[in-house]
Structure 1
């Protein structure tokens, strides 16, 4: 794959991310595996098995539930953020019920437009009330910080082109880049997506080809790069991606 262009994402660090590095990282996130020692009654001595290293299959590939937000959405969010305690499950389930009106308001306000196609005023306090940014800020306040991350994951899975995955480590990486007048951290994501529109379009095309036609939204591509960078896993994911058979096949084309 050619190394043309780069993504300039201040939230991921001071250095630009070449497009070929970004594509390899996303491929590694989607396909990469890690060794795990497995023991069972039939193999009490244990054996090494290869398991998925990241949450792509458990989250991004999981079928989208239909109808109103419900228990299945909590299960999907667990696929990305991990299992909840019984009390945590109940809190997230209640937060999803509380999120319905704000999520519907954001969807109606967007009017079928993707997050990155919305005007900047939608993420400015000067445009409030009623903006998408205001609704996202309200959604982020539902429950504790961990619960809000699960709500964001459930909403993103339903509408990956509109609801960003805000919260947890990625949220903390975004906060230092919030500017005066921003409605919240979603404004940072919006700025980086619009400033790198051509780069993310090219990255999306490359990732779709590498994943056999599976499309990954620009919001999710941004989130993967942000999370891998902040968790110091970017280099590892790039290595996994470049070792994947899909990468070798793309290089031959």
Structure 2
């Protein structure tokens, strides 16, 4: 079995206090992302052709249902935005669906302000002042504070994967303990961790794009690692990623810088 916690990149690590007290070695982070994207679990399934049921292997996490979907790139919100968000956070009941759809329309002027303020820059390229209450109003952090619903966040991240961070109950709790005085919200913590680990996230972005055949921004990679840690799924995802790497012809260590 390929040991993805050693070899190339073995000395590099992501220091993410929101995910835990210990640095995450870069090969371990890559294994976790692979496990998240490709891991499967057994599900007992009944169908007309198999009325007595049978076991099938289904994707364990939301990568294909969310990250694998082509996003809307122009125009006002549509019903499809809600469907994409459901791919990450689960199905909504009719009342919840209408609430999210209405919220997307309501928040759309704020999204326009957010995009204009970013002026083509990615989240991690923005100055720290954009996430300080001392520089409000009009900052990116102030705009993001108006987008609280997790399904709305997911829809907006799908459209702007390098600008709008994801937040749900798990990751929000992980981040809030690290919010400092003057921070506009938990997004300030994400921004600090991305900028402090710029070189490691650049390497992880490159390796992930090669491994999965599609890029994930460092904003999404941070969210995946934080969610896996906060939901106690990190160990499982890493183990699955290692097993998948062992079955492939390309070892994970070859994707990381020496």
1:244 and 2:244 equivalent? yes
Give the 3-state SS of the residue equivalent to 2:138 in structure 1.
coil
- Structure 1: how far apart are the matches of 2:135 and 2:143? 12
Distance in 1 between residues matched to 2:239 and 2:211, nearest whole Å: 15
1:4-39 Cα deviation digits (max 9, x unpaired): 310000100101100001001001111111011112
Task: Supply the RMSD in Å over aligned alpha carbons.
Answer: 1.4
Unaligned runs of 5+ in 1: 141-147
Give the ranges of 4+ consecutive aligned residues of structure 1 lying more than 6 Å apart after TM superposition: none
| CA distance in structure 1 between the partners assigned to 2:218 and 2:245 by the alignment | 24
Contact 1:74-1:154 within 8 A present in 2 as well? yes
Q: Distance in 2 between matches of 1:94 and 1:249?
A: 48
* 8 Å CA contact 1:116, 1:190 repeated in 2: yes
Whose relative contact order is higher, 1 or 2, with alpha carbons under 8 Å and at least 6 apart?
A: 2
- CA distance in 2 between counterparts of 1:50 and 1:135 reads 41
What is the distance in 2 between the residues matched to 1:230 and 1:117? Answer: 26
Mean CA deviation greater in 20-29 or 203-212: 203-212
Count of residues in correspondence between the two structures? 245
Q: TM-score scaled by structure 1?
A: 0.93
Secondary structure at the aligned position of 1:244 is classed as: helix
SS in 1 for 2:58: strand
Mind listing any 5+ residue stretches in structure 2 that lack a counterpart? none
Deviations 1:149-177 (A, max 9, x none): 00000000000000000232111111110
Superimposed CA distance per residue, residues 13-69 of structure 1 (whole angstroms, 9 cap, x where no aligned partner): 101100001001001111111011112232222211100000000000111124211
Q: TM-score, normalised by structure 2?
A: 0.92
Q: Which has the higher helix share?
A: 1
